[in-house]
Structure 1
Amino acid sequence: MTGTLADKRALVTGASKGLGRDICRALLADGWQVVGVARPSLELKALQAELGPSFTAWEMDVTGDDLLMAIADADPFDLLVNNAGGNQPEPFVDVADETLDLLITLNVRAPFRIARSVARAMPRGGTIIHMTSQMGHVGSPRRTVYCMTKHAIEGLSKAMAVELAPAGIRVNCIAPTFVRTPMTEGMLADTQFAAFVDRMIPMGQLATAEQIAAAVVYLASPAAAMITGHSLVIDGGWTAQ
């Protein structure tokens, strides 16, 4: 695929760190022109310097209207990777309304609105990929809100896939297990939680950001032309139990 996609444009949210950073790198290596969205940060500036002119940084909050206006004013995107998201693990009975509203806004409302804006101008053959989680397929302690939001996006993706198929647009999810990123670093530093994760993954190891990025490249490629409404679970067997 390398070098065959010079005229193809991708939009990646949550681009400044973690999975988003490696997704941008992988898409650039595959020949895409990439626009990476994240709030202003030194990490985003460093990524712009690293990736060069085929990468454009949009310093915007994914929950705001400025991003929607920028999408409407830009040339159409052939690929959207809705990667931005967050988690605040807490016992169910202790979850504050503020936490509930924050995660619903970031994990559900924002990707819905971004996908809607991109899809309005997306050409035939376009692809939308929602980054969900293995927690969009199962439940887990202290993750009620996160599980709820990821299940919601899994359902949204299926409905979008059916509705947008006549327009030639494919919609899929990638549902990783735990990957060591800035978001999960603190969780995995808890030895009790790390042991729980280790017990739950039959393959005995975390996924890597490079593995998740490779899945994005695959689902965006002609090799996946008949895949839509699917969730590609990359979990080392967690959800098979």
Structure 2
Amino acid sequence: MHVAVITGASSGIGLATAKMFVEAGIAVVGVARDAGKLAAMERALAGGPAPVATLAVDVRDDDAPRRAVDLAVERFGRLDHLVNNAGIGSPKPVHETDDETLDYFLDVMLRSPFRFCREALRVLATPGTIVNVSSTYALLGGLRGGAYSAAKGGINALTTHLACQYGSTGIRTNAVAPGVVATPMTMGRMDDERFRRMNVDMTPSTRMGLAEDVAQAIFFLSSPASAWINGQVLAVDGGWSTTKFLTEEALSAERRPVTPDWSHSGRPRGEGAG
């Protein structure tokens, strides 16, 4: 029986991933801060094809990676998969971000995954997998990304390094970069018209993304079906990051006029040299 450690496992993408792993017969060590939510996860997954253990801890704690990995080995005898999913949302642009907020975002979404990877490498079986949860905001310049974009960009670089350094040992490392999906972290922001239009109106899909969509990608990258995939960042975003799509509503919206700027090159801004 394979064993996975999943951070941020009590809700959203982490919970959907834990459920998918358990249903596939993979034991799960779920890591999150909220003991009550973890208990609910255990109850929901009880009786499944594989067992579940939980650890209520802040992933920023110095001993969190060691405790999670040790729990996997002590309870289930091994560790085959690590999913670094824990994250936070609602970032601010750089000029609005103080040092405390910067440190918090980097600690949760870059320093913590780095340390969980380092600890997991100590015992990870071969073949084994690491999947880091990045973001489309690390692929494109997302508005208001700030420290969030910086942390997720670091995750992408960490992923490619791990793939290069440890791929020859049988440990594959990949990342998924979700767009905005329906999770407790994002649903409240859908009441913001600007946020909704920036995401929903620019995604060429007939529905909003679900946590299960991302979990499917994580599961695939953790499975033998992806055995020849290493060092990749897979966008799971309905096409948001790779298209110039706009809904009919957005295309027909009233636009402000654009005044040509002749001040630099003697031709309107954006006009080619041709």
Q: Please classify the TM superposition score into its range, dividing by the shorter chain length.
A: over 0.9
Q: 1:15 aligns with which of 9, 26, 29?
A: 9
Match of 2:261 in 1: none
Identity %: 36
Structure-2 residue corresponding to 1:139 = 141
Please identify runs of 4+ aligned residues in structure 1 that moved more than 6 A: none
- Identify unmatched segments of 5+ residues in structure 1: 1-6
Aligned to 2:111: 109
Give the Cα separation in 2 of the matches to 1:85 and 1:140: 17
Write the distance in 2 (CA, Å) between the matches of 1:208 and 1:111.
23
Q: Name the structure where helix makes up a greater proportion of residues.
A: 1
| 1:3 matched residue in structure 2 | none
Q: Does the Cα contact within 8 Å between 1:12 and 1:81 map onto a contact in 2?
A: yes
1:204 positional shift: 4.8
- The answer to whether the aligner puts 1:62 opposite 2:64 as a matched pair is no
Residue 40 (structure 2) aligned to one of 38, 43, 46: 46
Is this contact kept in 2: 1:125–1:169, CA < 8 A?
A: yes
Q: Which residue identity is paired with 1:81?
A: V
Aligned to 1:4: none
CA distance in 1, matches of 2:170, 2:7: 23
The question of whether the paired residues in 1 share the 8 Å contact of 2:199 and 2:240 is answered with no
Does the C-alpha gap of structure 1 residues 67 and 203 become closer, same or farther in structure 2, counting only changes over 3 Å?
Answer: same
Superposed displacement of residue 71, structure 1: 3.9
Aligned residues: 235
Deviation at 1:65, TM superposition (A): 2.2
Which residue of structure 1 lines up, in the alignment, with residue 201 of structure 2? 199
Greater mean alpha carbon deviation, residues 184-193 or residues 115-124 = 184-193
Q: Given the two structures, how large is their TM-score scaled by the length of structure 1?
A: 0.93
The structural deviation recorded for 1:144 is 1.7
**2:268 maps to which residue?**
none
- Name the aligned partner's letter for residue 195 of structure 1: R
Which deviations, in whole Å up to 9, do the C-alpha atoms of 1:137-168 show, x marking residues without a partner? Answer: 01111112111111110011001000001210
**Structure 1 vs Structure 2 CA RMSD:** 1.4
Contact 2:55–2:68 (Cα < 8 Å) also in 1: no
Alignment counterpart, residue 187 of structure 2, candidates 161, 164, 185: 185
In the aligned structure 2, how far is the partner of 1:200 from the partner of 1:100?
A: 28
Given residue 63 of structure 2, which amino acid in structure 1 is its aligned partner?
Answer: D
CA 1:211 to 1:48, structure 2 compared with 1: closer, same or farther past 3 Å?
same
* 1:61 CA drift (Å): 1.1
Whether the aligned pair in 2 keeps the contact of 1:60 and 1:66 (CA below 8 Å) is no
Deviates more, 1:194-203 or 1:96-105: 194-203
In structure 2, what is the equivalent of residue 29 of structure 1?
23
CA distance in 2, matches of 1:114, 1:171: 13
Partner of 2:210: 208
Q: Structure 1 residue 88 and structure 2 residue 90: aligned?
A: yes
Tell me the distance in 1 between the aligned counterparts of 2:16 and 2:130. Answer: 17
Q: Which 5+ residue runs of structure 2 have no aligned equivalent?
A: 244-274
- State whether residues 129 and 171 of structure 1, in contact with CA within 8 Å, keep that contact through their aligned partners in structure 2: yes
2:241 counterpart residue number = 239
CA distance in 2, matches of 1:165, 1:89: 33
Distance 1:43 1:71, change over 3 A: closer
SS of alignment partner, residue 149 of structure 1: helix
Q: How far apart are the structure 2 equivalents of 1:155 and 1:37? A: 24
The aligned counterpart of 2:246 is none
> Offset of 1:185 from its aligned partner?
1.7
Q: Counterpart of 2:81? A: 79
